[in-house]
Amino acid sequence: MKLPEKFTERMKSMLKTEYDAFINAFENSPIYTGIRINTAKEGAKEAVLSAFGDLEPIPWCKDGYYADKSLISGNHPYHMAGLFYFQEPSAMSAVSGLPIEKGDFILDLCAAPGGKSTQAGAALNGSGLLVSNEIVKKRSDILSENIERMGLTNAVVTNETPQKLSEKYIEFFDKIIVDAPCSGEGMFRKEPQAVEEWSIEHTVSCGIRQRHILDCAVKMLKPGGYLIYSTCTFAPEENEKIAAYLIDTYNLEICKTNLDMLECGRTKWSDSEYDMSKTRRIFPHTQKGEGHFLALFKKGGEAVQSCKKEKKPKKPDNVLNDAVSLYRKFEKETLNVKLDGDFVLFGENLYLKPQGINIDKIKVVRCGLHLGICKKNRFEPSHALVLSLKKEDFKTSVNFDYSNSQLKAYLMGEVIDCSGSGWTAVLVNGFPIGWGKASGGRLKNHFPKFMRLKK
User: Would you give per-residue pLDDT tens digits along the chain (455 residues)?
Assistant: 789 999 999 999 999 999 999 999 988 999 999 999 999 999 999 999 999 998 999 999 999 999 998 889 999 999 999 999 999 999 999 999 999 999 999 999 999 999 999 999 999 999 999 999 999 999 999 999 999 999 999 999 999 999 999 999 999 999 999 999 999 999 999 998 899 999 999 999 999 999 999 999 999 999 999 999 999 999 999 999 999 999 999 999 999 999 999 999 999 999 999 999 999 999 999 999 999 999 999 999 876 555 655 555 555 688 999 999 999 999 999 999 999 999 999 999 999 999 999 999 999 999 999 999 998 889 999 999 999 999 999 999 999 999 999 999 999 999 999 998 999 999 999 999 999 999 999 999 999 999 999 98
Parallel, antiparallel or unpaired: strands 378-381 and 369-375 = antiparallel
Q: State residue 304's pLDDT score.
A: 58
Distance CA 74, CA 430 (A): 19
CA distance 112 to 119: 13
**CA angle, 339 then 125 then 101, to 5°:** 125
Q: Under 8 Å CB-to-CB from 384, ≥6 apart: which residues? A: 148, 151, 369, 370, 371
pLDDT of residue 306: 55
| Other residues' Cβ atoms within 10 Å of the Cβ of residue 286 | 14
**Contact of 291 with 284, CB cutoff 8 Å:** yes
Distance CA 112, CA 116 (A): 9
At residue 58's C-alpha, the angle toward residues 52 and 63, to 5°, is 65
Cα torsion 184, 122, 152, 368: sign: negative
* Closest among 90, 78, 91 to 150, alpha carbons compared: 78
pTM above 0.75, yes or no: yes
Question: What is the DSSP code string of 124-185?
Answer: HTTSSEEEEE-SSHHHHHHHHHHHHHTT-SSEEEE---HHHHHHHSTT-EEEEEEE-----G
The CA-atom distances, in angstroms, between 331 and each of 340, 380, 388, 433, 438 are: 11, 11, 14, 18, 16
Helices 200-220 & 240-249 angle (0-180, nearest 10): 40
Across the chain, which distance is largest between two alpha carbons, in Å?
75
- Name the 3-class secondary structure at 237: helix
d(Cα 206, Cα 198) in Å, to the nearest integer?
Answer: 11
C-alpha dist (Å) from residue 317 to 310, 326, 328, 375 = 15, 14, 16, 17
Residue closest to 36 by CA, chosen among 103, 107, 96? 96
Q: What angle do CA 106, 108, 113 make, to 5 degrees?
A: 140
At residue 152, φ and ψ (nearest 5 deg) are -75, 135
Query: Cβ distance 274 to 244 under 8 Å?
Result: yes
What distance in Å separates the CA atoms of residue 26 and residue 24, rounded to the nearest whole number?
A: 5
3-state SS class at 325: helix
Q: Supply the pLDDT for residue 69.
A: 85
Active site amino acids = 232
Write the CB contacts of 373 (distance below 8 Å, at least 6 apart in sequence): 348, 349, 350, 379, 380, 382
